[in-house]
Structure 1
């Protein structure tokens, strides 16, 4: 096994590849939170900046509406639905929420409403009735839609999420984790750039009733209540879950995603989410290492190849997110088993980049690939190389 130390590279990259492992910094985090469940991650690298009970099952309340939105976004992206399609407000969808205390879009029974307006009703107004209308149009019933949500969540890697309705209405079996909500948020932001701006719309008027977006980070005031760069995603509140928020904040090339739940009031939710967002940008930074296709090791040795060496290159743009105080102690190494036996095909993973630093509970690893084809020597060449190696290793 060969390990080669590398100097840090002052390169600029636009995106950091998703192939970087999620590295937990929980063991070294220097901040506490009153939230019962919490996770803060760097969007591009997936590095966990803070976590607290992030895999604990919890009542996600209206934050689970994000899964309903994801399902509809997929319909729109595939062309199966259009924003202008009109969906019926059935009596069953209307009755499900008419006399409840939950948030409503105030849809008239037996009316028809566009998909676009229903999405605004879900995202901005947190309308439970809008969720039911979308669910029935999608699967025929809200129960069938909840089953489809659960199946799709599993496919996205949200292995701890189970849905029993489209709105997050209290149900003892309707459960998610903070980590699953963070995973879902990354998909909403990354997979649907054309639709994601909906989450930052401040207000929406339907049926003569104007309602504002409930995300406290979107608002600014003379007292500085807003959070610069905040552009989504969703609040939630039930008695079982407490007050929660899934938030995204983007400043420059960096974006963080934050999930908090189990807080005691709207004010605590607003104050804590702002505090943690500022902490994440103040105490952490992203450090680029290599561009996609850039040579990391120019001459890794090859065994029985027509070339004696092969370059190892970065498969994608590579970088890390670290506490700023740990930057000076970051160590970057290349690990591969060598000599690398021929034949070698360009693009084949043959090594890995390993990053260690204070503040990381585990090393961050990313694959390195062969930068060129190397054919295997013919029979005669292999005999000659074997003899040569024998002579070169003989005692002198």
Structure 2
């Protein structure tokens, strides 16, 4: 009898769930793009001439349209988006300030004297700040300014390119490899439309002040040596012409064709469009394609916030060994989806096994947004409050109750 009692006690304690779980850090909301494209039955996309295309909602990363999105292509000056990101990071990390002088290095001057490429025609005898150089890069697409900045931040161009590739790897841009900071033709220098969209989203999300540079309609290059100044228009022809456009970067080489990464915001919704390999005999076609894509995104889709960060929901998660046994859950992040008119979905809670003590903010499951039977977006569900472990006697009684309940069920 004594051994049987001990055995019963062990079983009851196990049923009471004496082990605890380590809290899991919540992650941001994620759109499952392949499911979304198949589930929402989107309206027919516009006809565009570009070879590779992506249209993305910058708020949630949802892909509204794609064509040859993972095909590796020469990026031309859209390469400078990564260069601008490294500049923004260097400033944020206090490695350089906007008012620091950026010398025109011999490498930069060599580019400045190269014909048939975009330049600010910088002279080593001139004095320019990092802010000046960023203007030249973002507005004029100046290759000489790009090389000067690469030399300043990286120590030399090769080291800066290594930094670019390290950043691409960190961001998961698996279809990207850089050989230079400006995008001039070079073997083994490539990216994809999808990687450009992801990179641009990251840049805008973490450093929105970059748009203060890219949205300028023009930039003036003043030369004290030559005693003259030249004002150049933004290479982005949509600035000031298409409502909401405030960036981001153009590009062209014979290998790449005409490229453009654009971004526009209307009514709180920001879209990112990437067109690569557009027709070589029409400099304006990339902007025509981009306008079609933006019109499609803004007119055919509605951005819906299915769940708000911190929103208390009707769902609870069972905590068998907790003091309360049931704990309300909240959303760890906004759950935002883009849906065509007439398409609706529903939020579902998928719980995971949880044992006490449960801490506020601890992951306890997933919130899924389901359309036509497919999960198209998800975010973590986290505990709305604390639930300490019940005392041993309460846990023992619950374990006994569950044991007898199971026994009666089998009978």
* Cα deviations by residue, 1:47-103 (Å, 9 ceiling, x for unpaired): 110111212111110011111111111122222212221122123321134133111
1:298 CA drift (Å): 4.7
Alignment pair present for 1:19 and 2:33: no
**CA separation in 1, counterparts of 2:172 and 2:253?**
25
Pick from 211, 221, 232: which aligns with 1:206? 221
Quickly say closer, same or farther: Cα 1:315–1:362, change in 2 above 3 A. closer
Quickly say closer, same or farther: Cα 1:169–1:184, change in 2 above 3 A. same
* Cα deviations by residue, 1:95-114 (Å, 9 ceiling, x for unpaired): 13413311111112343321
Alignment pair present for 1:324 and 2:345: no
TM-score (norm 2): 0.84
* Cα deviations by residue, 1:4-63 (Å, 9 ceiling, x for unpaired): xxxxxxxxxxxxx94223424444442143221111111111111011121211111001
Pick from 206, 211, 214: which aligns with 1:196? 211
* Bigger radius of gyration: 2
Q: Which residue does 2:321 correspond to in 1?
A: 304
Q: Which residue does 2:262 correspond to in 1?
A: 247
TM-score (norm 1): 0.87
Q: Which residue does 1:382 correspond to in 2?
A: 395
1:267 CA drift (Å): 2.2
Alignment pair present for 1:174 and 2:195: no
More displaced 10-residue stretch of structure 1: 145-154 or 292-301: 292-301
Pick from 285, 300, 306: which aligns with 2:302? 285
Quickly say closer, same or farther: Cα 1:209–1:157, change in 2 above 3 A. same
Alignment pair present for 1:228 and 2:249: no
**CA separation in 2, counterparts of 1:362 and 1:39?**
21
Alignment pair present for 1:39 and 2:54: yes
Q: Count residues with an aligned counterpart.
A: 370
1:361 CA drift (Å): 7.1
Q: Give yes or no for contact 1:18–1:44 (8 Å, CA) kept in 2.
A: no
**CA separation in 1, counterparts of 2:84 and 2:379?**
32
Q: What's the Cα RMSD here?
A: 2.1
Structure 2: tracts of 5 or more residues without a match: 1-26, 223-228
More displaced 10-residue stretch of structure 1: 177-186 or 228-237: 177-186
Quickly say closer, same or farther: Cα 1:92–1:290, change in 2 above 3 A. closer
Q: Give yes or no for contact 1:314–1:369 (8 Å, CA) kept in 2.
A: yes
Q: Which residue does 2:368 correspond to in 1?
A: 354
1:277 CA drift (Å): 0.2
Give SS of 1:49's match: strand
Give SS of 2:396's match: helix
Alignment pair present for 1:373 and 2:386: yes
Question: Any residues of structure 2 matched to 1:140-159 within 5 Å, and which?
Answer: 140-159=155-174
* Cα deviations by residue, 1:334-375 (Å, 9 ceiling, x for unpaired): 11146x4333222111111111225x9753111101112222
1:331 CA drift (Å): 2.4
Q: Which residue does 2:377 correspond to in 1?
A: 364
Q: Give yes or no for contact 1:18–1:46 (8 Å, CA) kept in 2.
A: no
1:292 CA drift (Å): 2.2
Alignment pair present for 1:275 and 2:289: no
**CA separation in 2, counterparts of 1:256 and 1:134?**
29
Quickly say closer, same or farther: Cα 1:86–1:228, change in 2 above 3 A. same
Question: Any residues of structure 2 matched to 1:73-152 within 5 Å, and which?
Answer: 73-152=88-167
**CA separation in 2, counterparts of 1:347 and 1:172?**
48
Give SS of 1:389's match: helix
**CA separation in 2, counterparts of 1:87 and 1:305?**
61
Quickly say closer, same or farther: Cα 1:311–1:73, change in 2 above 3 A. same
Q: Give yes or no for contact 1:22–1:45 (8 Å, CA) kept in 2.
A: no
Quickly say closer, same or farther: Cα 1:361–1:68, change in 2 above 3 A. farther
**CA separation in 1, counterparts of 2:395 and 2:154?**
63
More displaced 10-residue stretch of structure 1: 96-105 or 246-255: 96-105
